[in-house]
């Protein structure tokens, strides 16, 4: 049994999972410390309020609010769980966008811009095609594919700059991010899609429900009543599985990873490295654009088109999602839901306690910081194991494990 556990522990995949779990636990622990310190520094927060804040950080997704006596109640919260899955949908897609590019040796920090271009294309198609003459389901498919295509084209730009001019993809992505922000702002500013029905909605675009086009619920609203969930989460999961198969089980995936491992060696082996670099960034862009389409086509909220002063956080949040998942497409599903859960917990801290949701931003920041150093954590885990083995050998007076082979070699000699 001990030998089996040791074998499992020695696997690199196990160390990657442990590094991510350590990052999450340390982040939650730091969040707990912040809750305690803030509570102790304010007279308005009682010891029970501090305890409530700590419990919400670790299990807020299961909180059902407060009862008549003012105590937190716990149980199955269908609304919170459904909203978590809805918020996780675009995070899965942007996380996949970063993970797939990283598998091929590229750092796609351009997901926010690709997300914006996907937003623009999907909304304009969904709202621009008359639903009186074209079936709403077909409009949805066209809008979703249009969002993916817009993101792919925008992602291919830094890919081409990297492949043909050897311009660093990070710099190129930063450039395309802000270009996208200004292009989207201008495009919606001159369009006819602005919400002019509700006077208080100046600067917002109509929901897709305005045109009768919205992502179907597929019965999920019955499982999670009162939430914003729709069939988009199922589409995102299917795409994540497809990306896993593409990267790990196909010739194209092997070529993409080969270019990421060593571009020059891949070219020597006959692989078209330039084509694969552009293709990798195009796939990453399509995933980010598809994430935007799934979010905005849901019809749950309006899009605020004055985006030139900021970039969508969903695009950047794909980076910690991918880092925590160690760039594994299947693991991205779970890390995206974890990040979405922290978002829900932040709202509960604001609604149920005297704290505010920014505490969860501290937790996410710590987790991101540590996940960026996951390699160091894995080295520490490996180093601890090696140190233990060295001490054990020193105590028994034995040489390293190769001594048996040396004995056999000596006997044969």
Q: What is the mean pLDDT of the chain?
A: 86
Q: Can you tell me the distance from the alpha carbon of 98 to that of 376, in angstroms, rounded to the nearest whole number?
A: 21
**Which CATH number goes with the domain that contains 311?**
1.10.3470
Q: Is 376 a domain residue? A: no
DSSP per position, 244-290: HHHHHHSHHHHHHHHHHH-HHHHHHTT--HHHHHHHHHHHHHHHHHH
Residue 287 has pLDDT above 80, yes or no: yes
Residues present in the chain in total: 413
Q: Is 47 a domain residue? A: no
C-beta neighbour count of 192 within 10 angstroms = 9
Q: In the prediction, which pLDDT does 249 show?
A: 93
**Cβ–Cβ < 8 Å for 112, 307:** no
Structure tokens at 411: 């006997």
Please count the structural domains in the chain. 1
Q: Is 227 a domain residue? A: yes
Instruction: Categorize the per-residue pLDDT at 301 as very low, low, confident or very high, splitting at 50, 70 and 90.
Output: confident
Instruction: Categorize the per-residue pLDDT at 148 as very low, low, confident or very high, splitting at 50, 70 and 90.
Output: very high
Q: Out of 31-40, 123-132, 331-340, 377-386, which region has the weakest mean confidence (pLDDT)?
A: 377-386
pLDDT digits 0-9 by tens, 176-229: 999 999 999 999 988 888 876 666 677 788 899 888 899 999 999 999 999 999
Q: In the prediction, which pLDDT does 372 show?
A: 67
pLDDT digits 0-9 by tens, 252-270: 999 999 988 888 888 888 9
- Residue 166: domain span: 82-343
Q: In the prediction, which pLDDT does 308 show?
A: 64
Q: In the prediction, which pLDDT does 200 show?
A: 66
Q: In the prediction, which pLDDT does 107 show?
A: 92
Residue 54 has pLDDT above 70, yes or no: yes
pLDDT digits 0-9 by tens, 311-351: 898 999 999 899 888 899 999 999 999 999 988 988 888 88
Structure tokens at 167: 């311009």
pLDDT digits 0-9 by tens, 215-225: 999 999 999 99
Q: How far is residue 215 from each of residues 117, 208, 226, 305, measured CA to CA in Å?
A: 19, 9, 16, 21
Residue 14 has pLDDT above 70, yes or no: yes
Q: Is 77 a domain residue? A: no
Q: Can you tell me the distance from the alpha carbon of 214 to that of 209, in angstroms, rounded to the nearest whole number?
A: 6
Q: Is 154 a domain residue? A: yes
pLDDT digits 0-9 by tens, 62-90: 898 888 888 889 988 999 999 999 999 99
**Cβ–Cβ < 8 Å for 83, 220:** no
Q: Can you tell me the distance from the alpha carbon of 366 to that of 341, in angstroms, rounded to the nearest whole number?
A: 16
Q: Is 8 a domain residue? A: no
């Amino acid at each position: 049994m001990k030998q089996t556990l040791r074998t499992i522990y020695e696997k690199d995949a196990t160390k990657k999972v442990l590094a991510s779990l350590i990052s999450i636990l340390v982040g939650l622990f730091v969040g707990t410390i912040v809750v305690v310190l803030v509570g102790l520094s304010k007279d308005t927060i009682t010891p029970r309020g501090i305890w409530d804040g700590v419990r919400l950080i670790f299990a807020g997704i299961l909180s059902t609010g407060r009862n008549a006596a003012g105590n937190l109640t716990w149980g199955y919260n269908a609304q919170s769980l459904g909203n978590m899955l809805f918020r996780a949908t675009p995070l899965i897609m942007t996380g996949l966008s970063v993970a797939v590019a990283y598998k091929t040796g590229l750092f796609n920090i351009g997901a926010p811009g690709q997300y914006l271009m996907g937003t623009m294309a999907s909304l304009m198609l969904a709202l621009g095609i008359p639903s009186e003459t074209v079936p709403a389901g077909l409009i949805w498919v066209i809008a979703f594919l249009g969002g993916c295509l817009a993101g792919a084209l925008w992602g291919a730009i830094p890919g081409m700059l990297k492949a043909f001019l050897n311009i660093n993809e990070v710099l190129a992505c930063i450039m395309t991010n802000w270009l996208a922000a200004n292009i989207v702002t201008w495009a919606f500013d001159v369009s006819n899609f602005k919400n002019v029905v509700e006077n208080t909605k100046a600067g917002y675009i109509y929901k897709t429900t305005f045109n009768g086009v919205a992502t179907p619920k597929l019965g999920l609203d019955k499982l999670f009543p009162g939430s914003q969930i729709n069939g988009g989460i199922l589409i995102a999961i299917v795409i994540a599985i497809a990306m896993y198969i593409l990267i790990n089980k196909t010739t194209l995936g092997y070529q993409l990873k080969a270019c990421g491992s060593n571009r020059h060696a891949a070219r020597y082996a006959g692989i078209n490295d330039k084509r694969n670099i552009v293709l990798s960034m195009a796939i990453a862009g399509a995933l980010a654009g598809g994430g935007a389409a799934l979010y905005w086509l849901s019809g749950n909220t309006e899009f605020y088109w004055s985006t030139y002063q900021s970039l969508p956080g969903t695009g950047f949040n794909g980076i910690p999602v991918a880092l925590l998942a160690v760039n594994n497409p299947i693991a991205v599903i779970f890390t995206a839901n974890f990040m979405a859960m922290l978002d829900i917990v932040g709202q509960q801290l604001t609604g149920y306690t005297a704290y505010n949701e920014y505490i969860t931003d501290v937790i996410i920041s710590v987790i991101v910081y540590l996940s960026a150093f996951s390699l160091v954590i894995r080295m520490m885990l490996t180093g601890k194991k090696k140190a233990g083995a060295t001490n054990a050998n020193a105590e028994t007076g034995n040489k390293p494990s190769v001594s048996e082979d040396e004995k056999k070699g000596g006997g044969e000699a």
